[in-house]
Each structure stands twice: as structure tokens, then as C-alpha cells.
Amino acid sequence: MGLKSIVWLLAVSFCMWPGIANSALPNLRVDDAALIRHIKTTDFVFRSTLGDCRNESLHRSKIRGVPSFVYKAKCVIKPRPEEDCQYYQVTDSGVVDTTTSAAVRDIRLKLLCSA
């Protein structure tokens, strides 16, 4: 294989790489599990205040043509400040900016206590 062939092969591979890499990423506009994962790993409140969540639900809609979401769950507070108040009822709403980017625009935390 000549030098010209190797250079051409590398150029073609390099041009195709972004398409290959992007096709492996989940589409936040259609994949509910990926959107929930994205919210939990990129939102500061989730990362710093909330632990494991259960009874999760995600509702999608469009507001003025922009893909939007409302996420609801019951999440453990971290660190646990009280014995009788260990969970928040979480309601997040936000937008899905692109297939790989979404942002929480509003978060509501309702303290749930057993007493």
C-alpha cells in the first residue's frame, strides 16, 4: 500500500469519525432513560442533594415548538439531615436543547416526612 493510499484512507476515516461517534450517543429527544440519566448527571442539584430515586416518571411535550419535559420522582436526600425526613418529592421541568443536550429550568423539592 502506497503512501497516497494510506493518506486517503486516513482522510476518509477521519471524515467519517464524527458520524460514527454521534450515532453511538443516545438521542435525548426520544430516549427517556437517557434523558433521565443526563438530568441526574449534569444538574447540580441532583449531583449534590439527591441520592437514589424511585417512582420516576417523565412526561414530554413541546412548549412553543421546543421539546420540553417534566420529571417526577421520590428521591433520597443526601446527606440525610433528619431521621424522619429522608426523601424529597422532586419535580423538574426543562428543555431538550439538542439530541445530546438538555437542561433543567425549574426544580421543585417537597420535603417528605414520616411524622
Provide the 3-class DSSP secondary structure of residue 45.
helix
Return the biggest CA–CA distance within the chain.
78
Whether pTM > 0.85 for this model: the answer is no
pLDDT value of residue 5:
57
The span from the first CA to the last CA of the chain, in angstroms, equals: 77
pLDDT tens for the chain, 115 residues long, are 566 555 454 554 544 455 444 557 899 999 999 999 999 999 999 999 999 999 999 999 999 999 999 999 999 998 776 778 889 999 999 999 999 999 999 999 999 987 6
- Cα gap 18→20, rounded to integer Å: 5
Tell me, what DSSP letter sits at residue 84? S
